[in-house]
Chains A and B, each alone.
Chain A
């Protein structure tokens, strides 16, 4: 903590010390020592009116001095810890979003460029186009109830993937089905806070809301049919090909969104289930399906 407020006065430097007498003892002490050893030849810091009890004349015992120093250092360490924690909050809730949004934007642009470049003549999503790898991103999730932004979907739910501001589909503990599979559960995870916070507003999704997944060739339109606001993080049943907790009883083409809840913690998991309603081929202009047009 530099003694503030006089960056403009280089020659009269002892002016700062006496004005700080109301701070912690040990911080004033080094400062007065500072003025003593750096400026003892110059004029005495002629004690202004606001410091009638200038500590200099009274001799202080060495023990007292040492205790005061220790208390001062401990205080400074505590203040430092507080500042570091505040910085960590800023990092978690702001900076990681900045980084992740940037990363996701670049990756999304790359995927769209690949799609535009490789016209994938057979028009089947199941055959991966030559130009890109599935871990680059398989498509975009659109959930108008949650956000107007599209969410890039990549393979895997490790932090290395999700911290890039994307949603990931599960490889484990239960392997996700792909939207183009005849049946199964397309299961996704994304951050609730920080790192893009792609599923931050997952609690705004209600039964009946559309969830649309866009691939190179197809719009997959799902309809939300069940929400589980809180469950254990060990409840892998929610990812099952037929997620029975949602009320589903027979094999179908499901989508499952998972994230953590309540916000800012990882105590529980929030689950949203949808079932495929229809698919629509992507046209030359990539016209979105009616569900997305209505929303915007």
Chain B
């Protein structure tokens, strides 16, 4: 999977490396900004009130 992505990135090794870093950072950003905030209330870790 990652090998496939690597082979389909453009440019030489250095360019691919930079593109990979950018892709990884983008994925982390999406996780922190959208996925985790969505998932967190569904998980039983942080409900503090009595109800």
Instruction: List which B30-51 residues lie within 8 A (CB) of chain A.
Output: 31-32, 36, 39-41, 44-51
User: Please, what's the 1-or-0 string for B10-46, where 1 marks a CB less than 8 Å from any CB in chain A?
Assistant: 0011101100100000001001100010011100111
A87 touches B31 (CB 8 A): yes
Bound-state Cα–Cα, A266 to B16, Å: 44
What is the CA–CA distance of A7 and B20 in the complex, to the nearest angstrom? 12
Q: Which residues of B contact A140 (CB under 8 A)?
A: none
In contact, B48 and A88 (Cβ under 8 angstroms): no
Q: Which residues of B contact A193 (CB under 8 A)?
A: 45-46
Report A4-43 residues with CB < 8 Å from chain B CB: 6-7, 9-10, 13, 26-27, 29-31, 33-34, 37-38
Given contacts A91-B36, A159-B41, contact A34 B3 (CB under 8 A): yes
A264 near B45 with CB under 8 A, answer: yes
With a CB–CB cut-off of 8 A, which chain B residues contact A95? 32
Chain B residues, Cβ within 8 Å of A253: none
Q: Give the CA-CA distance A55 to B19 in the complex, in Å.
A: 30
Does A170 belong to the interface (CB within 8 Å)?
A: yes
In the complex, which range does the number of interface residues on chain A fall in? 35 or more
Q: Is the CB of A266 within 8 A of B48?
A: yes
**Which of the residues B7, B16, B20, B49 comes within 8 Å of A189, measured between beta carbons?**
B49
Within 8 Å by CB of B47, from A29, A231, A233, A235, lies A233
Residues of B near A269 (CB, < 8 A) are 48, 50
Tell me the interface secondary structure of chain B in the complex.
Answer: helix
Q: Cβ of A191 < 8 Å from any Cβ of B?
A: yes
How many pairs of residues, A versus B, come closer than 8 Å at their CB atoms?
110
- Are A192's CB and B50's CB within 8 A? no
Bound Cα distance A3, B7 (Å):
11
* Cα separation A73 to B3 with both chains bound (whole Å): 10
- Are A10 and B36 neighbours in the complex by a CB distance under 8 Å? no
Complex Cα distance, B49 from A236, in Å, reads 9
Output the nearest chain B residue to A239 by Cβ-Cβ distance. B50
What chain B residues lie within 8 Å of A191 (beta carbons)?
Answer: 46, 48
Query: Measured between alpha carbons, how far is A88 from B37 in the docked complex, in Å?
Result: 10
Cβ of A76 to closest chain B Cβ, rounded Å: 5
Would A194 and B31 count as touching, CB distance under 8 A? no
The 8 closest A-B pairs by CB, nearest first: A30-B3, A266-B47, A260-B48, A91-B36, A157-B49, A189-B49, A1-B2, A10-B12
Contact with B17, one of A7, A38, A76, A260 (Cβ below 8 angstroms): A7
Instruction: Knowing A7-B13, A84-B31, say if A30 contacts B47 (CB, 8 Å).
Output: no
